[in-house]
Amino acid sequence: MEPLTSAILYRVSTALTFRILRLLADGDFHSGATLARRLDVSRGTVWNAVRALDGLGLEVHRVPGRGYRLAEPFSLLDRAAIARHAGDASARLAIEVADVADSTNSMLMARAATGAASGTVLAAEWQESGRGRRGRAWHAGLGGGVTFSLLWRFVQGPSALAGLSLAAGLALVRAMSALGAGDVALKWPNDVLWRNGKLAGLLIEMHGDALGPSAVVIGIGINVRLSDAVRSRIDQPAEDLETASGGAVDRNAVLGRVLAELTSMLDAFSRDGFAPLRAEWERHHAHQDQAVTVTLPDGRSHEGIARGVGDDGALLFETGNAVRRLHSAELSLRGASRSEARRARTDA
């Protein structure tokens, strides 16, 4: 199929496209004529909307005489279902699901500045400008992931929140484990891995007075099901939750469980900081006591051993006869894999 033009891609953002998606989500065939009649549009408009869904990574079967059908089941995010899976935590959350968002983080940061309540959640079926750490784009096919942001307010100032991204990552590990994914690991400072492929990532943005209070927006992207087309756009090893858990996963259950774990974690962090979580974080550290290469923000690289993290979440990096504390760096593994390192420590 020829590439979509920018005009067609723009139409993906319209309510019509998602109205058609909701009709197709039942997995049955729907003729173009039926869709056009139900939506009071032309068959050509329906054709363009279905073509736009192709461009978002959804495979749509077209059968003459029968119409359109999604190749795989599709479940849309639903606020009530998310709240149900979040359990008691839902009472403290204001959950909103948008069809399309430019960036859930940017939108919540703007709302925070105008007084949005702590616990505000914005999830998007499609994020047009989703980004990760250092401005990298976050790639996910429509329905293949969970992307959302959570606003949380702290009485402390930003300088007192060191280690928050690590605590949020640990909440993701707990949630992924509860959803059936075993041996989930953490890459400092804020990536969640499975078998050395990125399973989820997070981006934290904050503002506030030096002594408090502060508003923090935690943006999270989780790979639930990665298509070949999406994998081809990702410039690093990636994995998805359905592979890690060995079966189909309800995205509403994923988001609900993650919100429950985050709420609990943020309460604990607000009260005690990162120090009590340090040992648990290190148990999941993908590079614990392994040879690594650290690339600093200025581009210089150093080789050494990752010795865990400090009480403030700083990376403890041993090089020569000294242990350095790093607060901002790119970490890449050099040498033994995690399983090999485990065997080596067991055999020693």
The CATH number of whichever domain residue 47 belongs to comes to 1.10.10.10
Reply yes or no on whether the pLDDT at 343 is more than 60: no
- Of 29, 45, 70, the domain-final residue: 70
- Of 252, 282, 312, the domain-final residue: 282
What pTM was estimated for this model as a whole? 0.86
Do 233 and 192 fall within a single domain?
yes
Task: Tell me the HSE value of 182 on the side-chain side, using a 13 A CA sphere.
Answer: 2
Do 291 and 230 fall within a single domain?
no
Asked if 30 contacts 36 with a C-beta cutoff of 8 angstroms, the reply is no
Q: What is the pLDDT of residues 58-93, one digit of tens each?
A: 889 999 999 999 988 788 999 999 999 999 999 999
pLDDT band at 139 (very low <50, low <70, confident <90, very high): low
Number of domains in the chain: 3
As a whole number of Å, the end-to-end CA separation of the chain is 57
Reply yes or no on whether the pLDDT at 263 is more than 90: yes
**Structural domain that includes position 44:** 6-70
Do 252 and 124 fall within a single domain?
yes
| Residue range 162-169: mean pLDDT, rounded | 97
Task: Characterize the bridge pairing of strands 94-101 and 120-127.
Answer: parallel
CATH number, position 112 = 3.30.930.10
Query: Look-up: residue for tokens 């280690």?
Result: 163
- Of 16, 48, 70, the domain-final residue: 70
Asked if 95 contacts 78 with a C-beta cutoff of 8 angstroms, the reply is no
Q: Catalytic residue numbers?
A: 133, 198, 334
With respect to residue 1, please indicate whether it lies within any of the assigned structural domains. Answer: no
- State residue 328's pLDDT score: 82
Region class of 259: left (phi > 0), else alpha (psi between -120 and 50), else beta: alpha
For residues 27 and 66, give the distance between their C-alpha atoms in angstroms, rounded to a whole number. 13
Task: Kindly report each contact of residues 74-80 with a partner whose C-beta sits within 8 Å and lies 24 or more positions away, as own/partner.
Answer: 74/21, 74/24, 74/25, 74/27, 74/143, 75/25, 75/143, 75/250, 75/251, 75/252, 76/21, 76/22, 76/25, 76/125, 76/143, 77/123, 77/125, 77/146, 77/251, 77/252, 77/255, 78/252
Do 245 and 137 fall within a single domain?
yes
Do 182 and 220 fall within a single domain?
yes
With respect to residue 24, please indicate whether it lies within any of the assigned structural domains. Answer: yes
Reply yes or no on whether the pLDDT at 229 is more than 90: no
Question: Residue type at 178?
Answer: A
Helix (H) or strand (E) holding 52: helix 43-55
Helix/strand/coil percentages in the chain, nearest 5: 40, 30, 35
Do 66 and 111 fall within a single domain?
no
Query: Facing residues of 6 across strands?
Result: none
Range of weakest confidence among 25-29, 181-185, 314-318: 25-29
